[in-house]
Amino acid sequence: MFGRRVFIVALVPLISLAACSSTSESQQQTTLNVYAASSLAAPFAYAGLAYEKEHPGVKVQFNLGASSDLARFIQEGAPADVFASADITNMNKVESQDLLDSQSFIFATTYLEIIVEKGNPLKISSLQDLTDPDLIFVTTNPEVPIGKYTTTVLKKAGVAITPDSFESNVKGIMLKVASGEADAGIVYHSEVIASDGQVQGVKIPTEFNIEAEFPIGIIKNSANKKEAQGFIDYLLSPEGQSLLTQYGFQTP
Amino acid sequence: MRQSPRHRQKLPWPILAIALLAFAFILSPFIGLLWRTPWSKFTDIVVKQEIRDALWLSLKTSLMTAILCVIFGVPLAWLLARVNFPGRRFIRALMTLSMVLPPVVGGIALLYTFGRRGLFGQYLDSWFGIRLPFTTTAVVMAQCFVAMPFLVLSVEAGLRQLDSRFEDVARTLGGSRWYVFRRVTLPSIKPSLIAGLVLAWARALGEFGATITFAGNLPDMTQTMPLATYAALDSNPESALILSLVMVAVAFSILIALRDRWLGRADQGPPL
């Protein structure tokens, strides 16, 4: 076979890397598991770092994905401490099964925007422009919050579009548009900010737009409720609020 | 050649215990699946249009992949097994890379190569107006990319084991290279070819990561059974369970059917 020695040489750094990370983890006393909608990735990454700095001994571990996936994981007993969903429907799935410690509440809102490739080569300026049959439009399944919101916005505007793909979450839409494979998609305004110029946003008029509400809650079975509350408190602190604003969210 | 029929070996009990644990571990998820399956809704769900679409698309694309893997994989295996050229081991490692790579990485690589803005894809688009992502062709490409090495490795092993003197004799008797390949080489490697074909086909049938990344997810176009199962997990978990069960049944029956016919019995040793 292809050099056994090469294989071993390649393995050594991997194993030592794994060993390093496990030792540093064992020095931490607590791991706070935050399950968050993938659209919260950017502000939460910073919030996690800031929280860890203020609370030595706590490590914030994120599980980012479609809110519908995360809600299902929590229903199946995944070890989550905090759940931040991109819509109320998926938070309700968890809440209705009495899996929350206390009632969830809206901590951030945002609105939707059309995204197009950098430079807007197709000169898309309205929802109506998306009906061009040659245009490649991607969204997600309607169970994923962004897919549901997209359907609502298109219905409000009276625009009928046949999507070319149903991605698994909002990041899938971002990848397909940023790489130029798709011409357009609809995502959160915050996502456009976080993309740092990878895609270009096109405004959707307020009369067709919706307010996407992001609820957060602490999981009932959490063993780290104090830390979970601390993380939420950080998000609600002036520092946390300005972080969310900076990433295109509004705070109630 | 063959060992005395089924002489019984006494295994040390710790090994037996570990073997039973492994057996239970591999078997138990299937039992879990059967346990959660809503049998009463089975027929209602199986006849749904989107499930029939996904099943048909999966069969169509995976069979296409299997055929393409044979057409391109056998010559590649032959090249790797029979032709001496510098860096052959390195090339072989490269050719089998996609087998050990996480499929989603393969999907990203395909996207940036054959996508609309990709290395070759941009010319396919601007010169010929061909756009691969979000098409059934892209599904087959993703499947070929991950499945081909299974066929290549299996056929290559078969070619290496083959006594090349048979081919030499056929050549000295006046057979042309093509005739010898067709009438001597191919029949001799039939077991490894079939084994490789089944492995590649099964891998193609189960392909998820590269497909969703490169080809997207659209019913009746790129949504194969694994993608439909994953999508159904959100909208209708009962459908997801039944889709999973259908895939288990298809895969299992193919393995059983092929095993007796072509793969030889277990006590004869597998061709791999």
Tens of pLDDT along B140-196?
999 999 999 999 999 999 998 888 888 888 888 888 888 888 888 888 888 899 889
For residue A147, being part of any structural domain is answered with yes
Q: Where is A32: in which H helix or E strand? A: strand A30-37
> CB contact, 8 Å: B212 with chain A?
yes
Q: Which residues contact B156 (CB under 8 A, 6 or more apart)?
A: B77, B80, B81, B92
- The interface predicted TM-score (ipTM) is 0.70
Of A165, A179, A181, the CB nearest to B218: A165
Task: Please give the DSSP secondary-structure letter assigned to residue B185.
Answer: I
Within this chain, do residues A58 and A129 fall inside the same structural domain, yes or no? Answer: no
User: Residue B269 — very low, low, confident or very high, per pLDDT cuts 50/70/90?
Assistant: very low
Distance CA A189, CA A110 (A): 6
Of B92, B231, B237, the CB nearest to A141: B231
> CB contact, 8 Å: B101 with chain A?
no
Q: Is A219 helix (H, G, I), strand (E, B) or coil?
A: strand
Nearest chain A Cα to B209, which residue?
A168
Within this chain, do residues A198 and A145 fall inside the same structural domain, yes or no? Answer: yes
What total number of domains does chain A contain? 2
- Mutation for testing the B interface, residue in A165, A173, A176, A177 having most B CBs under 10 Å: A165
> CB contact, 8 Å: A119 with chain B?
no
For residue A188, being part of any structural domain is answered with yes
Residues of B in contact with A138 (CB under 8 A): 216
Within this chain, do residues A192 and A234 fall inside the same structural domain, yes or no? Answer: no
The alpha carbon of residue A159 and the mean position of all alpha carbons in its chain are separated, in whole angstroms, by 26
Question: Which amino acid appears at position A205 of this protein?
Answer: P
Nearest C-alpha neighbor of A164 from the set A187, A184, A180: A184
> CB contact, 8 Å: A166 with chain B?
yes
Dihedral of CA B3/B8/B12/B17: which sign? positive
For residue A127, being part of any structural domain is answered with yes
Nearest C-alpha neighbor of A34 from the set A55, A65, A56, A57: A65
Contact A179 B93 (CB under 8 A): no
Percent of chain A beyond pLDDT 90?
A: 65
Residue A222: which domain range? 4-109+213-246
For residue A90, being part of any structural domain is answered with yes
For residue A252, being part of any structural domain is answered with no
How far is the CA of B9 from the CAs of B6, B12, B16, B269, in angstroms? 9, 10, 11, 17
Cβ-based burial of B103 (10 A; exposed 0-12, middle 13-18, buried ≥19): buried
**Chain segment A204-214, per-residue pLDDT in tens:** 999 999 999 99
Task: Please give the DSSP secondary-structure letter assigned to residue B116.
Answer: T
Q: Which residues contact B229 (CB under 8 A, 6 or more apart)?
A: B240, B243, B244, B247
- Mutation for testing the B interface, residue in A117, A181, A183 having most B CBs under 10 Å: A181
Q: What are phi and psi of A25, to 5 degrees?
A: -70, -35
Identify the CATH number of the domain in which residue A31 sits.
3.40.190.10
For residue A251, being part of any structural domain is answered with no
Q: Averaged over A78-92, what is the pLDDT?
A: 93
Q: Report the pLDDT value the prediction gives residue B164, as an integer from 0 to 100.
A: 80
Q: Report the pLDDT value the prediction gives residue A109, as an integer from 0 to 100.
A: 93
Within this chain, do residues A222 and A101 fall inside the same structural domain, yes or no? Answer: yes
User: Residue B272 — very low, low, confident or very high, per pLDDT cuts 50/70/90?
Assistant: very low
For residue A208, being part of any structural domain is answered with no
> CB contact, 8 Å: A142 with chain B?
yes
Nearest C-alpha neighbor of A247 from the set A33, A35, A46: A46
Distance CA B249, CA B247 (A): 5
> CB contact, 8 Å: A86 with chain B?
no
Within this chain, do residues A124 and A87 fall inside the same structural domain, yes or no? Answer: no
- Mutation for testing the A interface, residue in B110, B234, B236 having most A CBs under 10 Å: B234
Q: Averaged over B132-139, what is the pLDDT?
A: 91
Domains of chain B: 46-224 (1.10.3720.10)
Q: Is A208 helix (H, G, I), strand (E, B) or coil?
A: coil
Of B89, B116, B234, the CB nearest to A2: B89
User: Residue A102 — very low, low, confident or very high, per pLDDT cuts 50/70/90?
Assistant: confident
Ramachandran assignment for A158, one of left (phi > 0), alpha (psi -120 to 50 degrees), beta (any other): left
Within this chain, do residues A82 and A9 fall inside the same structural domain, yes or no? Answer: yes
Q: Averaged over A60-67, what is the pLDDT?
A: 91
Alpha helix positions (H), chain B: 13-36, 42-46, 49-82, 88-95, 97-100, 103-114, 121-128, 136-161, 164-172, 177-180, 186-188, 190-206, 209-214, 225-235, 237-261
Q: Report the pLDDT value the prediction gives residue B171, as an integer from 0 to 100.
A: 84
Contact B234 A69 (CB under 8 A): yes
Within this chain, do residues A46 and A125 fall inside the same structural domain, yes or no? Answer: no
Kindly report the number of other CB atoms within 10 A of residue A22's CB atom: 9
**Chain segment B74-86, per-residue pLDDT in tens:** 999 999 998 888 8
Within this chain, do residues A161 and A234 fall inside the same structural domain, yes or no? Answer: no
Residues of B in contact with A181 (CB under 8 A): 111, 115-117, 133-134
Distance CA A1, CA A8 (A): 13
Highest mean pLDDT among A42-46, B4-8, B46-50, B261-265: A42-46
Whether the full predicted model's pTM is greater than 0.90, yes or no, is no
Torsion from C-alpha of A52, A53, A55, A57, nearest 10 degrees: 70
Of A68, A144, A180, the CB nearest to B116: A180
Query: Mean pLDDT score of chain B, rounded to an integer?
Result: 86
Q: Report the pLDDT value the prediction gives residue B267, as an integer from 0 to 100.
A: 45
Within this chain, do residues A134 and A219 fall inside the same structural domain, yes or no? Answer: no
Farthest-apart Cα atoms in chain A, separation: 65
Q: Averaged over A122-136, what is the pLDDT?
A: 92
Say yes or no to pLDDT of A49 above 90: yes
> CB contact, 8 Å: A3 with chain B?
yes
Q: Averaged over B10-31, what is the pLDDT?
A: 91
CA distance B210 to chain A (A): 13
Within this chain, do residues A159 and A118 fall inside the same structural domain, yes or no? Answer: yes
A199-203 and A137-140 beta bridge pairing? unpaired
